[in-house]
């Protein structure tokens, strides 16, 4: 998530960074780089050929972001070299760019629709034993990169071949069935929206029970009804990448939970309904 990036300060006092080039490749992977003043014109021209956005360095927020990006290189033929970057940092660039955000969001929505992301509840397994081709599950990308929705392409025993639901051109991955998370499969109350697109809540739940210490026997709930304070679940962030991260309910009121991010305690807590949470495999952990 955008606010989870490790903040590394770069001393840019000796080098002016007037432009940033950023965008995604044909597979949807984010890339970005900063270019010094003497290369700004060439970088801007290269951006058109590479189908990248150009972000002028204006204000402290953009200057800080630029300082955290790799330096771009202009080759003799005028083409720019822009490395890949982390999705969370790219999300900050999209937010800082303002107007490009609308077009990128629109493009992402188009990809989302074309890749079959609007899945009915029949595509969501009730438990890990039921997982079969066509089902949607949540898989960890890489350590520190978060979890994303995937579609099961093949199951061979306990091993699953998966493709990224919203990035169908990226390489397929293989995961053990016990390493994936599950989305709520049982439909929603009539007054609630899709759990995969939860709206941020401003009201803090008032707990009906006193927070208890984490019990290893119940830390991983087997069903959504078992979710309680101090369990470990998956929750989706509000950023543009809609990444899932591991979270711990710190308080609850009926079906609403106040959650803290397990690996990012400095990030503000969020509120989610029970059916907006993902489950981790509960057995043998």
> In degrees rounded to 5, what are phi and psi of residue 179?
-100, 0
Domain containing 235 — which CATH number?
2.30.30.140
Task: Work out whether strand 256-261 and strand 270-273 pair parallel, antiparallel, or are unpaired.
Answer: antiparallel
- Check whether 86 has a pLDDT greater than 50: yes
Strand-pairing partners, residue 278, are: 234
Cβ–Cβ < 8 Å for 136, 119: yes
Task: Tell me the pLDDT band of 13, cut-offs 50, 70 and 90.
Answer: very low
Rounded distance between C-alpha atoms, residue 72 and residue 34, angstroms: 6
pLDDT score for 214: 42
In-domain check, residue 61: yes
Cβ–Cβ < 8 Å for 50, 33: no
In-domain check, residue 266: yes
From 117, 179, 93, select the one nearest 143 (Cα to Cα). 179
Answer yes or no: do 277 and 250 share one domain. yes
Q: How many residues are given for the chain?
A: 285
Domain containing 139 — which CATH number?
2.30.30
Task: Tell me the pLDDT band of 152, cut-offs 50, 70 and 90.
Answer: very high
In-domain check, residue 67: yes
User: How far, in Å, are 122, 162, 195, 196, 271 from residue 192 at the CA level?
Assistant: 18, 29, 8, 11, 14
In-domain check, residue 184: no
- Which secondary-structure segment (H or E) carries 152? strand 147-156
pLDDT score for 103: 34
Task: Tell me the pLDDT band of 110, cut-offs 50, 70 and 90.
Answer: very low
- Check whether 277 has a pLDDT greater than 80: yes
In-domain check, residue 249: yes
pLDDT score for 265: 87
Answer yes or no: do 107 and 77 share one domain. yes
In-domain check, residue 96: yes
Answer yes or no: do 224 and 256 share one domain. yes
Cβ–Cβ < 8 Å for 221, 280: no
- Check whether 204 has a pLDDT greater than 90: no
Answer yes or no: do 64 and 15 share one domain. yes
- Check whether 14 has a pLDDT greater than 90: no
**Mean of the pLDDT values across residues 148-159?**
93
In-domain check, residue 243: yes
Answer yes or no: do 200 and 139 share one domain. no
Higher pLDDT, residue 252 or 13? 252
Task: Tell me the pLDDT band of 129, cut-offs 50, 70 and 90.
Answer: very high
Q: Output helix, strand, coil percentages for the chain, rounded to the nearest 5.
A: 25, 25, 50
Collect all residues with Cβ–Cβ distance below 8 Å to 8 and sequence separation of at least 6.
Answer: 68
Answer yes or no: do 108 and 125 share one domain. no
Task: Tell me the pLDDT band of 233, cut-offs 50, 70 and 90.
Answer: very high
End residue of a domain, out of 113, 129, 150? 113
Strand-pairing partners, residue 270, are: 259
Answer yes or no: do 158 and 217 share one domain. no
| DSSP state, residue 279 | B
Answer yes or no: do 206 and 251 share one domain. yes
pLDDT score for 258: 95
Cβ–Cβ < 8 Å for 64, 40: no
- Which secondary-structure segment (H or E) carries 270? strand 270-273
Cβ burial of 186 (10 Å; 0-12, 13-18, 19+) is exposed
**Mean of the pLDDT values across residues 248-264?**
92
Rounded distance between C-alpha atoms, residue 160 and residue 131, angstroms: 9
From 56, 52, 49, 85, select the one nearest 70 (Cα to Cα). 85
- Check whether 88 has a pLDDT greater than 90: no
Rounded distance between C-alpha atoms, residue 153 and residue 135, angstroms: 8
Task: Tell me the pLDDT band of 5, cut-offs 50, 70 and 90.
Answer: very low
- Check whether 235 has a pLDDT greater than 70: yes
pLDDT score for 113: 33
The number of distinct structural domains making up the chain is 3
Owning domain of residue 153: 121-179
In-domain check, residue 251: yes
Answer yes or no: do 102 and 20 share one domain. yes
Answer yes or no: do 207 and 268 share one domain. yes
Answer yes or no: do 166 and 246 share one domain. no
**Mean of the pLDDT values across residues 22-29?**
82
Answer yes or no: do 20 and 72 share one domain. yes
Higher pLDDT, residue 225 or 9? 225
Task: Work out whether strand 244-253 and strand 233-236 pair parallel, antiparallel, or are unpaired.
Answer: antiparallel
Instruction: Tell me what the pLDDT averaged over the chain comes to.
Output: 74
In 3-state terms, what secondary structure has residue 159?
A: strand
End residue of a domain, out of 95, 113, 131? 113
Collect all residues with Cβ–Cβ distance below 8 Å to 106 and sequence separation of at least 6.
Answer: none
End residue of a domain, out of 58, 85, 113? 113
> What is the per-residue pLDDT across 38-74, written as a single tens digit (0 to 9) for each?
888 888 888 877 788 888 876 777 888 888 999 887 7
Higher pLDDT, residue 187 or 258? 258
Task: Tell me the pLDDT band of 112, cut-offs 50, 70 and 90.
Answer: very low
Cβ burial of 275 (10 Å; 0-12, 13-18, 19+) is buried
- Check whether 231 has a pLDDT greater than 90: yes
């Amino acid at each position: 998530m955008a606010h989870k990036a490790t903040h590394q300060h770069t001393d840019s006092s000796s080098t002016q960074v007037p432009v940033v080039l950023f965008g995604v490749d044909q597979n949807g992977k984010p890339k970005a780089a900063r270019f010094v003043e003497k290369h700004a014109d060439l970088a801007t021209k290269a951006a058109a050929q590479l189908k990248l956005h150009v972000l002028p360095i204006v204000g402290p927020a953009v200057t800080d972001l630029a300082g955290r990006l790799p330096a771009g290189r202009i080759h003799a033929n005028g083409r720019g070299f822009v490395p890949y970057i982390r999705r969370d940092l790219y999300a900050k660039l999209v937010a800082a760019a303002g107007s490009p955000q609308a077009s990128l969001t629109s493009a992402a929505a188009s990809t989302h629709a074309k890749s079959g992301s609007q899945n009915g509840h029949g595509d969501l397994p009730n438990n890990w034993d039921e997982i079969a081709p066509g089902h949607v599950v949540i898989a960890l990308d890489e350590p520190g990169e978060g979890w994303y929705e995937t579609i099961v392409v093949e199951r061979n025993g306990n091993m699953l071949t998966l493709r990224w639901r919203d990035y169908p051109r990226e390489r397929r991955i293989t995961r053990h069935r016990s390493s994936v998370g599950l989305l709520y499969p049982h439909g929603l109350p009539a007054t609630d929206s899709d759990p995969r697109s939860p709206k941020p809540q401003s009201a803090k739940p008032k707990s009906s029970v006193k927070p208890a210490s984490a019990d290893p026997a119940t830390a991983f709930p087997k069903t959504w009804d078992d979710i309680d304070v101090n369990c470990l679940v998956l929750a989706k962030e509000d950023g543009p990448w809609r990444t899932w991260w591991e979270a711990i309910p710190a308080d609850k009121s009926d079906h609403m939970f106040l959650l803290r991010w397990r690996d990012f305690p400095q990030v503000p807590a969020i509120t989610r309904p029970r059916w907006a949470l993902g489950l981790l495999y509960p057995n043998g952990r």
